[in-house]
Every structure is written in structure tokens, then in C-alpha cells.
Amino acid sequence: MGKVTGFKEFPRIIVPYRGEEDRINDFNEIFSKGNIDQLKLQGARCMDCGVPFCQSDDGCPVDNLIPEWNDLIYRGEWRAALERLQATNNFPEFTGRVCPAPCEGACVLGITEPAVTIKNIEQAIVDRGFDEGWVTARPPSKRSGLKVAVVGSGPSGLAAADQLNKLGHSVTVYERADQIGGLLIYGIPNMKLEKKLVDRRVNLLRAEGVEFRVNTSVGSPVEISASHSNAIMTDTGQSVRHISTEDLHRAVDAVVLAIGATVPRDLSIPGREASGIYFAMDYLTRSTKSLIDERVTSINAAGKRVIVIGGGDTGADCIGTALRQGCESVVNFELLNCPPDGRAENNPWPKWPLILRSDYAHSEAKHKFGKDPRSYNLLSKSFLKNESGQLIGVRTIEVDWHQPSKDAPFSEIEGSEQDWKCDLVFLSMGFMGPESTLPDQLDLARDQRSNIVAAAPDYRCGEGSVFAAGDCRRGQSLVVWAIQEGRAVAQSVDDFLKGLTHAKAVA
């Protein structure tokens, strides 16, 4: 694939982000447009390896045909490359922007040289496809007469809906928020994924026959927990409709649950009740809502000293959002050690490289404040507040991961306590699983991590007509895994529906 000696001739050159000075002042996309000639050379670096590990279990979860479209880009056959890309990935315009690219971590070239710029090429292919008008609505030629409800409109739910609709089934997607897209809308900030791209894809699905119902909560009405769930419910005066599980079952032949993992991990330490402490997803949600609807007031970090507790993409997005709002300072607490610059001996190729990475927000913070915002080996011990209950700081202690204690895989370093002044804290420590309301009302089994039990490859919840996929089944994961599970559950539902059709025919 590509040019036989391309990986020897051409160095890895990535498509750069917009400059920090420019992008930090707006919520527009951080991405710049790639040069077609340069992308062709990057495609040429794909090295015709005997086994393309980029498509393996350690690489791309949706089994993208990466060497094929790399070769087609090298040859200038962009439309053919788009067809190969769309054969396995429902939403490459999303993954080309937000996926951390496990395919590049598993690239064979990456054993001795920098990997092929797979993610850049993927984004360029689909973006050109839309620009040229090659991506169009393609409704199914005939309908099966069977109906499927998909609960949740994140990447897993949308992928399942797309696949089931293509198979000719009538699909209705139910979303309790006021926008279709789930975390694509409210979990990923605009600078990483412009919402017009999500709307564009949703409009394509609608043109192909998928029905969408927003402001609709499946299950009996329950009190919404003030801790996290209310952030994704409508708060612009629109009412939320409720449809009972019984009514839903009567209306459709199968139900797919793609409700995500939205229960955040809390930090129950002294002072947690202080005013000024928020879950990261609440912060990001309200920020995006305020951009979409001027009636919504965001949690504003302007002029504030900000601390983000926890890392990952969500932590970086909190940093990036606070910077754009004009924070006075931002610090990111990491409990773990600082990762190494290169692979450790116990982290061999083709496993995901556990190395130090600087995301867009880290470089922006360094540009504005002169240093990386991350501080490692820090355990938060208490939140500090004033007499009126307002947050004024966080007390931490350093930890040593080389000396485990009887209660933890680390020990606290005596005398290393430190008080950090702050006005806002955002908790970004992952998620504990799906909310319990709907699984409980459907009497679904859940595992020790509270995820819905629906084993692959059939993704079926017990013996009934309910299926589950995405983060609510596998736990918090990547967008590309959500798409993979959406595609897989759609195939299982289709098999189930064929069985129903056969049973009716025999009867």
C-alpha cells in the first residue's frame, strides 16, 4: 500500500492545529485544513506491512480499511477512499476529530519510526467528501415493516439507528435532552467538534428515514438528581415528555438502550459541600448550551482561579473551556505518576502507548501561563471554604507510587501537604456507569460496575426484546468504540427481527 519506499523517504508531518494565540480566543474548531499534496505523501508512508495491526484488536475498533484508503489517497482517488472509509465507519467526521487514534498506536511503522498520520487522513477524506457533495442521503429501497426504538442519541445510538435504518427497519431515536447527539453535543466542546457537523449528520439520517424525538424521557417520571443529571436535561423552558416502558414495548418490535455512562465519580472529601465545585460534564454541558442558546447561563470561569481534578480528554476540555472564558489561572491535578516520554518495557507495541501526551488545551495553557498545567502524584485531601461556604482552595498531599500502603497502591508523603488557592473546581474523574432509573424499571441485570449486562456478540438483555450497547454496557470508553458497539448491536437486532418474521411466517 502507498509507495513501496514512502516510509523511508517522507517524514511524518501532521496537520497542525490553529495557533494557540488565535484559537484560545474563540470556540471555533481548533483544526486547520490539510494540504492535499502533503496528505498524499503521508498516505505514501503506509508501508504494505504483512499484517496491518492498525486494523487489529489493538488498533481500530471499527476495523477501518486503513491501508486501502491510505493507498487511494496516495493515488489521488479521493472518492474511492471515501467509499472505503464509509464501508466501516458511520461517522468519520467525528472520529477524525475526537478519536485518540489507537490505529496509530498499533501502526507497524511505529515500531521504529513515527506512525502514519492515519487520523489526519481520515478527517481529510470525509471533509472533502462533504465539500464535494459526495456524501448524500441514501434511504433504503424497501422497508421491513418492523419497528425499533433506540433510547439515547450519542454515537452508539446514532450508529445503531443508522445501521438498522439501512437494513430497512423503521427506527425512532428517543433523546431526553433538547438536541440530538448525546455526548457529541454536550460532552465534547465546540472547539473539538463543531455542532454544525453533528447537525449535518443528523439531518442526513433524518433524510434517510430515521425519526428523532427530543425532550423525551423513556420510563416513568422520576426526580432528577441535582448532582449531575439535570445538566443534560432541558433548562430553556421546554417541557420533557415521558413515555412509559410499557407503551414503548407496545409500539415497537425491539428496543436498543444506548443511554451512556452518565453517573460521574465524586470526590467525597471534607468540604465537598462548598459552593464552586462542579462535575466536569455539568461545566462542559452548560458551556455548550450557552453557545447554542443565549438564554442559558454558563458556569463562567472568567477571572477565576480554576483547578481541574482528574485528567483525560474531559479534564483537558475543562482546561480549554476555562481558558476561552478568560480564567485567571488553571491547574490540573493528576493522582498518577507523570507518564514516560517513550514506551516502557512493560508497554510494548502494538499496545496503546502509555506515554506523556500534550493535548490542545495543555499547549494552550502553557502558551498563556508559561507552563504545563498538570501537577502529578497529588491526592486531594479536603476542599477549603470561607465562612459563607464559598470554595477558596484545595488541600493536597503528594503520593509515592513506589511505596504502597495497606489501604492503597500508593503511600502519602509526610510533610508534603499544600494548599492551592482557587475559586472553581471541576471534577473530571470518570464515570460510574449508567443511571439506574431505566434499567431498574426494565428489571435488567447489571454487573459489579453497574453496567447493563448484555454480552457480546448478541448484546441482548436476557431473553426479551431489549438490547444494550455503548458506554451503558461496556463502561466509559471512546467514541469509536461506541460506534463499533452501535454497529454490532444493530446486526444482532436485525437477526432477532428476522427470527420474528420467520416465526410469524411459520405461524
Same structural domain, 404 and 484? no
Q: 264: closest CA among 433, 441, 37, 478?
A: 433
Residues 6+ apart with CB under 8 A from 322: 301, 304, 306, 308, 330, 424, 426
**Residue range 161-215, pLDDT digits in tens:** 999 999 999 999 999 999 999 999 999 999 999 999 999 999 999 999 999 999 9
Same structural domain, 118 and 199? no
268 located within any domain: no
* CA–CA separation, 422 and 427 (whole Å): 14
Same structural domain, 127 and 29? yes
Residue 280 has pLDDT above 80, yes or no: yes
Q: Which of 362, 392, 427 delimits the end of a domain? A: 427
The cell 483547578 sits on which residue?
307
139 located within any domain: no
Residue 229 has pLDDT above 50, yes or no: no
Q: 410: closest CA among 419, 397, 401?
A: 401
What's the CATH code of the domain at 102?
A: 1.10.1060.10
Q: 217: closest CA among 149, 284, 160?
A: 149
Parent domain of 12: 6-131
Q: 483: closest CA among 160, 53, 120, 55?
A: 160
User: What pLDDT is recorded for position 503?
Assistant: 66
311 located within any domain: yes
**Preceding omega of 52 cis (within 30 degrees of 0):** no
Same structural domain, 390 and 411? yes
Residues 6+ apart with CB under 8 A from 499: none
What's the CATH code of the domain at 318?
A: 3.50.50.60
Confidence of residue 500 (pLDDT cuts 50, 70, 90): confident
How many folded domains does the chain comprise? 3
The backbone torsions φ and ψ at residue 161, rounded to the nearest 5 degrees and listed phi first, read -65, -45
The residue-averaged pLDDT of 450-473 equals 96
The cell 476555562 sits on which residue?
322
Sign of the alpha-carbon dihedral angle for 146, 472, 243, 198 = negative
* CA–CA separation, 122 and 120 (whole Å): 5
Same structural domain, 22 and 124? yes
In contact, 219 and 437? CB cutoff 8 Å:
yes
Q: Which of 427, 448, 467 delimits the end of a domain? A: 427
Listing DSSP states for 445-502 in one string gives: -B-TTS-B---TTTTB-TTSSEEE-THHHH-S--HHHHHHHHHHHHHHHHHHHHHHHH
Residues 6+ apart with CB under 8 A from 447: 453
* CA–CA separation, 368 and 70 (whole Å): 37
158 located within any domain: yes
Residue 499 has pLDDT above 50, yes or no: yes
Same structural domain, 188 and 77? no
In contact, 396 and 279? CB cutoff 8 Å:
no
The residue-averaged pLDDT of 487-499 equals 96
272 located within any domain: no
Q: What is the DSSP letter of 174?
A: E
The backbone torsions φ and ψ at residue 95, rounded to the nearest 5 degrees and listed phi first, read -65, -30
Residue 227 has pLDDT above 90, yes or no: no
Same structural domain, 421 and 439? no
In contact, 151 and 46? CB cutoff 8 Å:
no
142 located within any domain: no
* CA–CA separation, 179 and 165 (whole Å): 20
**Residue range 421-435, pLDDT digits in tens:** 999 999 999 999 999
Same structural domain, 218 and 177? yes
The residue-averaged pLDDT of 345-358 equals 94
349 located within any domain: yes
- 411: three-class secondary structure by DSSP: strand
Same structural domain, 201 and 226? yes
The 3-state secondary structure of 351-403, one letter per residue: CCCCCCCCCHHHHHHHHHHCCCCEECCEEEEEEEECCCCEEEEEEEEEEECCC
User: What pLDDT is recorded for position 507?
Assistant: 59
Q: Which of 427, 450, 477 delimits the end of a domain? A: 427
Longest pairwise C-alpha distance within the chain: 77
User: What pLDDT is recorded for position 230?
Assistant: 46
Listing DSSP states for 231-300 in one string gives: GGS--SSPPPEEE-HHHHHHH-SEEEE------BPP---TTTTSBTEEEHHHHHHHHHHHHH-TTSPP--
The residue-averaged pLDDT of 141-151 equals 97
Same structural domain, 360 and 311? yes
269 located within any domain: no
Same structural domain, 444 and 364? no
Same structural domain, 35 and 118? yes
The cell 459552593 sits on which residue?
275
Strand partners, 468: 257
In contact, 383 and 425? CB cutoff 8 Å:
yes
**Residue range 74-95, pLDDT digits in tens:** 999 999 999 999 999 999 999 9
Average pLDDT, the chain: 94
Side-chain-side CA neighbours of residue 182 (13 Å): 26
* CA–CA separation, 360 and 316 (whole Å): 8
Q: 24: closest CA among 426, 327, 357?
A: 327
pTM of the full structure: 0.94
